Amino acid sequence: MNQRLKILFLTRWYPNRVDELDGNFIENHARAVSLYGDLAVLFVGADPNMSHRTWDIQAGDEHGFFVVRCWYRNNDVPRRGIGRIIKFFRYLYATWLGWQLIRKQWGYPHICHVHIFTRPALLALWLKWWRRTPFLLTEHSSHFVHELPEWLPPKKQFARFVARQAYCITVVSQALHRAITDFGLKGRYEIVPNVVFIPDLNHMVRTHPPRIVAIAGMADDRKNISGLIGAFAAVCDQLNPAELHVLCPVNDQKLFAAARLTRLLGSRIQLHQAMANDDVYRFLGASAFLVVNSSSETFSMAAAEALACGIPVISTRCGGPQEFIDETRGILIDVHAPEQLKQALITMYQTYLQYNRAELQRYVREHFSAEVVGRKIYRLYQAATEASG
C-alpha cells in the first residue's frame, strides 16, 4: 500500500483536563506516528468532577493531528455492583459519541492502534468485524512488572481474546514482554521503545554546585526516592558541594518528611513541584547526573530523557533501564541495595564529567527519537494492512 495510511489511536490514557500528564508517552507515540501517517486519537475517560452533564466531548487539532476526548460522569453511582454496570455502559456510549465525530470529520481508519488492555479494544474489535480493519495493541502498564494485576476470569479471558485478535502487541522492553506473557497474554510481540525528544545541547550548561537529580512518581513504593534521600544524606560529605534535587509530580508529604529527617532540606536537598516537560529537559541538561532508584520500571522515560540531555544515569536493575544503560552511559546497581547506591553516588560524582554528552545524546537519537520509533511503528501498520488485504 503506497498511500499514506489513516491510523486511529484508541486509548484510556492521554493528557487531559483531569490529569495533564496522563499517558504523555502515548501522546509522544502519536506525534511520532503522525510523521508518517494521518492520525486521529480517541481518548475516553471518566471525569470525577463532572456534575452538570453525563457526557462531554472536546475535539480539535493538536500537534498536527485530530484529537477527540470524551468524558463520562462516574460520581453519581456506587463504586461496585450496579454502579460498575452503569459506568461501563456510559463508557460505551462515550466511545460511540467520539467514534461518530471522528467518522464524520476524519473518516475511516486503515488500521487501529489500541493502547492499554482492555476496554479501548472494543471499538477496534467492532471495526475489525465490520470493516476488516486490523489493529495493533500496545501495553504500557508497569503493573505487570511491579506486581501482576488480579483480574477476574471474564476480564482475563477477554484480554486473551484481544491479544489473539491483534496483529501484534508492542511493548517498550523485554522486561514488560516477559511479565505480560507470564501473566498469560499470548500473541506476536514486538519491542517498540518510548519516544524521546532530542533537545539542543548547546543551550544546556551545567550549574554549580553540581545537581544530582531524581524524578519521583505518584507513590514512593516503586520509585524509592526516600531510599535515595537516605543514601545521599549518608555520603553527602563525600559529595560536597553537590545537591540532591527531586522533581515531584505530586505533593508527597512522605518525601518531605524523609528529607526533613536528614536536616538537609533547603540546603543540600531540594524538592520541586511538577514542571512542564520543556522545563524538565532544561533542568536535566543543567545537572550532573540522574538517579533511578526504582524497584520496577517498564522503560524509564526519566533515564532516557537524561541521556538525551547529555547526562549519565545511575539506575537499579529494575526492568527496562538495564536494556539501554551500560558502563558507557552510567552505573547499574541492584534493587534495594543501599550500600551499592552510596558507592555509585560517590563514583559517579567523581567521574560524571568523563561521559561524552554528545555520545549520550547520539545513542538516544539513534534508538528512541520520534523519527526512529515512528518509522518502526508505521512499518508494523503497513505489514498489518497488507496481511489483512
Q: What is the 3-state secondary structure (H, E, C) of the chain?
A: CCCCCEEEEEECCCCCCCCCCCCHHHHHHHHHHCCCCEEEEEEEEEECCCCCCCEEEEEEEECCEEEEEEEEECCCCCCCCHHHHHHHHHHHHHHHHHHHHHHHHCCCCCEEEEECCCCCHHHHHHHHHHHCCCEEEECCCCHHHHCCCCCCHHHHHHHHHHHHHCCCEEECCHHHHHHHHHHCCCCCEEECCCCCCCCCHHHCCCCCCCEEEEECCCCHHHHCHHHHHHHHHHHHHHHCCCEEEEECCCCCHHHHHHHHHCCCECCCEEEECCCCHHHHHHHHHCCCEEEECCCCECCCHHHHHHHHCCCCEEEECCECHHHCCCCCCEEEECCCCHHHHHHHHHHHHHHHHHCCHHHHHHHHHHHHCHHHHHHHHHHHHHHHHHHHC
For each successive 10 residues of the chain (389 residues), what is the average pLDDT? 87 91 91 97 94 92 97 87 90 97 97 93 96 94 71 86 95 91 90 94 91 87 92 96 89 86 94 88 96 93 96 95 95 96 98 96 97 97 92
Q: Say what the pTM is.
A: 0.91
CATH-assigned architecture of domain 201-366: 3-Layer(aba) Sandwich (3.40)
Per-residue pLDDT tens for 288-311? Answer: 999 999 998 999 999 999 999 999
Domain boundaries, the chain: 6-195+369-388, 201-366
Same fold yes or no, 6-195+369-388 and 201-366: yes
How confident is the model at residue 1, as a pLDDT?
47
What CATH code would you report for 6-195+369-388?
A: 3.40.50.2000
**Whole-number pLDDT of residue 80:** 82
